[in-house]
Amino acid sequence: MDASTKSTNWKEREIFSGLRIPPDAPVMVRIDGWRFHKVAEGLGLERPFDRRLIEALIQAPLSLMKMGFPLALSFTFSDEISFLLHPPIPWSGRVEKLISVIPSHSSAIVSMVLNYPVCFDARIIILRDLDEIISYLSWRQSEAWRNALNSYALFALERSGLSREDAVKELRNKKADSLHEIIFTKLGINITKIPPWQRRGVIVRKKYEERSHESGKVVRRVPEVDWDIPLFSTPEGRDYLMEALKVLE
């Protein structure tokens, strides 16, 4: 063996970040699918939406909750999941850990469910209080609505004979009213009547469940999937999130 190899301190060559977030405050980790259009083609998913994909994605937060991970709730639409973590944040808030373990665990779970390889990237969003949590979730929900409009409009134009490339060009810079018209004219669908999970996304949260035990009744929080959530920007939606976020109290 070469002498220079023997003397090399490989531990010193490891490059890692010491960046941390405050471990005593809630934080959002959002993961996004990588090249999921290829995943959709490979799996033969129905367009513009296939519930099988969302059912697979929500298994990631469900798995983390069942493992005892400090996950308050998650919000899912399209190919993304936002995970709200409550303190104390794992790994003392090490960013490198959060944006590697959560997406890699999610990739493994979703790949097993779909029997098809998928992967995600991740980013962290710093949140200071409940108002910012609700504001962030309202923002992502508005993106879910835009995604629904664009997905149905793109599907409508392609069904009418346009190529994917030409359909994308046709939709560029179009306002919501124009997308509504395209969808209704070419598909006969009122976009406001499509399933709620397509318009508003899906929440995985914890609910209180009371069970009988030999020593008496036991109340615990168990994961629940909600496919019919309100608009977070409304008073009803805010109340819904405040109830779901009691785990942070």
Residue 3: the pLDDT is 53
Dist. CA 194–CA 51, nearest whole Å: 13
Q: Are 32 and 121 in contact (CB under 8 A)?
A: yes
Count of Cβ atoms closer than 10 Å to residue 120 Cβ: 23
**What tens-digit pLDDT sequence spans the chain (249 residues)?**
555 556 888 877 777 778 999 989 899 999 999 999 999 999 999 999 999 999 999 999 999 999 999 999 999 999 999 999 999 999 999 999 999 999 999 999 999 999 999 999 999 999 989 999 999 999 999 999 999 999 999 999 999 999 999 999 999 989 999 999 999 999 999 999 999 999 999 999 998 776 766 666 766 778 999 999 999 999 999 999 999 998 776
**Which residue bears the tokens 């490979």?**
42
Residue 207: the pLDDT is 83
Beta-sheet strands, E only, within the chain: 27-33, 71-77, 80-85, 120-126, 202-213, 216-226
The CATH architecture assigned to 17-141+196-248 reads 2-Layer Sandwich (3.30)
Residue 9: the pLDDT is 85
Query: What pTM did the predictor assign?
Result: 0.90
The torsion defined by the Cα of 240, 86, 108 and 145, in degrees rounded to 10, comes to: 30
Residue 36: the pLDDT is 95
